[in-house]
Amino acid sequence: MKTLGILFQAAEFLAALVGTIYIMKYRVSSLIRYFVYFLWFNFFVEMFGKLPTLISTYDSMSFLKGTLLSYKNAWLYNIHSIISIVFYTWYFKENLISKKFIYILNVLIVVFFVTSVLNLLVTDDFFKVHSAFPMITGTLIILISVFFYFFEMLKSEKILEFNKDLVFYIAIGTMVLHLVVAPLFIYSSYYSKENVEFVKIRVIILYCAIIFTYTCYTIGFVVCSRKNKSY
């Protein structure tokens, strides 16, 4: 379990690092730059999210006990979930050509954001648990976004060199991540200290999915670097 946690953090950091090298070395679009910034955002959110555990574990950080940093950080991940879904949907939308698809995703982004915020306001999930609503509904929107991307790719010349398209690797990684994570939130009612086996399986599946996703991103940067010209 601990090894998977280290690999998960390493995979996140490596994807962000390789992505940074990629945008610094090659001429890339602003969309790719935003995606790399997003990877760093994810990495730092995860680091910040571990503070309560670190504070309760290490005596050297005991001076932070009783502060806001030592409390349950469900609020952080609830905010992060909404931002992530909106970003991924926006990113795929920006890579589409069809005005119809773009319009649909614009509507879905607004509806998702509004309903997710309302859900957190009318329930007591915000400070207590990682809300399942944004993850489950967000997964559906991600799948629609990825479907639109693949549909346009199949109808264009991109299909001839799909393995050299960074968006392809991002789509595969993102789709697998959300397909795996969504069911874990559907059965989140079983997540408790008493249900040890479920907690272990949930963590293992989650970590493996994240490692796979960020490995896809890293491979995408490496493969696509061969077709770009240096500054």
Residue range 128-170, pLDDT digits in tens: 888 889 999 999 999 999 999 999 999 988 888 888 899 999 9
Q: Is residue 60 part of a domain?
A: no
65 belongs to a structural domain:
no
Total domain count for the chain? 1
Could you tell me the residue range of the domain that residue 125 belongs to?
2-53+73-226
Query: Is residue 144 assigned to a domain?
Result: yes
| 169 in a structural domain | yes
DSSP assignments along 82-115, one per residue: HHHHHHHHHHHHTT---HHHHHHHHHHHHHHHHH
Residue 156, in any domain of the structure: yes
HSE-CB at 159 with a 13 A cutoff on CA atoms is: 9
pLDDT of 54 reads 64
| Residue given tokens 């559907």 in the structure block | 186
Q: Is 63 within the bounds of a domain?
A: no
Q: What is the pLDDT of residue 167?
A: 95
Q: Is residue 61 part of a domain?
A: no
Contact 169, 220 (CB under 8 A): yes
231 in a structural domain: no
Which residues in the chain come in under a pLDDT of 50? none
